[in-house]
Structure 1
């Protein structure tokens, strides 16, 4: 009887939390708390690795994408200074692999810091590397596990990692070569991995045609990478351009699908079509969806009456999994498919996704 009572209280508390109105200052407070906790625990061991992530690794690159959005909201420049110190220490270089999208992720931070400080040194190495890629494009296949296959964007995560950097370089330089390269490669990946019936992306070719408990396998965080990547690209483009319209079309299709498959608890299942088989919350994917959907409301693209409750439920469930110290729990470790997550485990990219989501929620509530 005691266990049943505890369960009922937990369920009631969860439903009350989902219905809570969001307040602007509370959003800022929890973002502050999460950002500070993550900086303090920046060099912790995550995903059961034997050493901390390299500062230029994609995991941290995704953290910086959210952290720099928080820096723009925060009351002082200490977050910008922390991020700038990382860039300076590594001489504004991308990570070690020339073509691999994961190793381009940190370039998103460099461009944003350039926008604040107007120091060309911050983006010159990225420009030089991308210029080389344009002149020497990878000739590899998009088929999974073919030779050098990840020299192109043949897994959906890549659409968050590299394309926004190309779009940002196009925006700040005005050089169309960056946009043209990005469009060609993004379209190739989408033609290869986008399921037109479900309006979701397969993680890579190896998941096409496979079933999990009778459902197609669409990894939540993988599609979260794509959805957030679409937003980060569209932020750089002219709304009247054909390129913007291309991304907007995909975005709207995904948004509609995500609206329909949100769980009653407010998160999205690790296998997006398999709620019954993956009941555990997963907050990196959920945070990316909240980010993308809130952005759509803020841009006037998504109908607020239709999507606001979806966003509110998603944000409230995220906040409900932030510990009193500021750690965001239930973030799936590094992987490529639906799996497991735990209340007491996090990852740096989950924090980045959370801060990205918070930045758009804050704007939605009138924050500057």
Structure 2
């Protein structure tokens, strides 16, 4: 991609929400990789997680670090992965029934490919066996709750399926993909809105055609940006490790194209997406975690021939320019909505490790665009 194009994009988005309280910091001499490294350095110096270093927030962040190393071969990214894994003793988090707690293993499985006998995969093996095959109340459904299936919230489709696809590839055993597909299809059937080509976050937000159902301030259905970013970004990761001839691959490719097309249609003028996708006026400013995952996924789709370059590349370049404008001079990526499950506001000083991960993920594919 020509440097001039990126400079022009940065100028275009200089009036975006991310710059409403800050000065654009993109320098002509900085490459995309430079910005990714700055984000990594800042995040490593400011560790944060919800409950534990092995939790889903770090899982999402280090998934971005994986893709950064894979794209650039920059040893700084690999060093961060090795240090994290060593400090965590290659453990997962503790809830075997919960998809969030296996997300960290995406980084472990990748790091395992970089040097023989470096990674202890026994905790990952144990988690996957228990998660897929042990009884859980969620699998039977908890009466009166949203927990009707194992992956009952759409975020789960980023947390577990990419790990399972990578694990199936590592084991050369498609039975793990088959199990993944069973649970993925349950979530799809329960939460995917075919009319809007978006996922409800969970059953609380699923439109049932009744006046009492939850809607946004403009009367439209509520679809959370990061929730759908989790799904679309996760789909790209799954497809990357899924064999081309896998029997259910067409389902995932079709879903990916449907969602990407919808996301492209509702991009805001400044290049970023709002936290409430169909009610942008609710919080009328850009948000970087959902936008980062969307940018990563669409760029991946272009680079892998799943999406039309002619149709989608302008959307991706506009989004990346806007994301750049949300990165401060010190490397911090702002305008990240905090931990939640529905649309909420963000600001220039709000950050989370998964927001950094989304930024680095996006960069890892945008730098490959020609």
Measured against the shorter chain, the TM-score band is 0.7 to 0.9
Structure 2 unaligned residues grouped into runs of 5+: 1-10, 20-25, 208-213
Which whole-Å deviations, capped at 9, do the CAs of 1:45-98 have from their partners, x for residues lacking one?
A: x7xxxxx65211111110000012223345642331222122122221110111
Tell me if structure 2 keeps the 8 A contact 1:144–1:206: no
Decide which moves more: 150-159 or 252-261. 150-159
Distance 1:144 1:251, change over 3 A: farther
Which whole-Å deviations, capped at 9, do the CAs of 1:216-251 have from their partners, x for residues lacking one?
A: 000000000000000110011112322221110100
Tell me if structure 2 keeps the 8 A contact 1:140–1:147: no
Distance 1:241 1:25, change over 3 A: farther
Tell me which residue corresponds to 1:211. 215
For the pair 1:306 / 2:311, whether they are aligned, the reply is yes
* Structure 1: distance between partners of 2:365 and 2:263: 17
Tell me the TM-score normalised to structure 1 length. Answer: 0.87
Decide which moves more: 115-124 or 236-245. 115-124
Tell me which residue corresponds to 1:156. 154
Structure number with the bigger relative contact order (C-alpha 8 A, sep ≥ 6) is 2
Partner of 2:362, secondary structure, is helix
Partner of 2:113, secondary structure, is helix
Structure 1 unaligned residues grouped into runs of 5+: 1-9, 47-51
Tell me which residue corresponds to 1:32. 37
Q: Post-superposition shift, 1:12?
A: 8.2
Which whole-Å deviations, capped at 9, do the CAs of 1:18-68 have from their partners, x for residues lacking one?
A: 9xx99896211111111111111124xx7xxxxx65211111110000012
For the pair 1:66 / 2:102, whether they are aligned, the reply is no
* Structure 2: distance between partners of 1:98 and 1:299: 33
Number of residues of Structure 1 aligned to a counterpart in Structure 2: 346
Tell me the TM-score normalised to structure 2 length. Answer: 0.87
Tell me which residue corresponds to 2:326. 321
Q: Post-superposition shift, 1:120?
A: 7.2
Distance 1:254 1:69, change over 3 A: same
Q: 2:296 aligns with which of 291, 300, 303?
A: 291
Superposed counterparts of 1:213-252, under 5 Å: 213=217, 214-252=219-257
Tell me which residue corresponds to 2:164. 166
Tell me if structure 2 keeps the 8 A contact 1:143–1:205: no
* Structure 2: distance between partners of 1:12 and 1:329: 15
Which whole-Å deviations, capped at 9, do the CAs of 1:124-144 have from their partners, x for residues lacking one?
A: 221122123333243535868
Q: 1:262 aligns with which of 256, 261, 267?
A: 267
Q: Post-superposition shift, 1:121?
A: 4.3
* Structure 2: distance between partners of 1:120 and 1:354: 28
Partner of 2:265, secondary structure, is helix
Tell me if structure 1 keeps the 8 A contact 2:141–2:149: no
Which whole-Å deviations, capped at 9, do the CAs of 1:163-191 have from their partners, x for residues lacking one?
A: 11111110110122311110100000000
* Structure 2: distance between partners of 1:141 and 1:334: 25
Tell me which residue corresponds to 1:14. 15
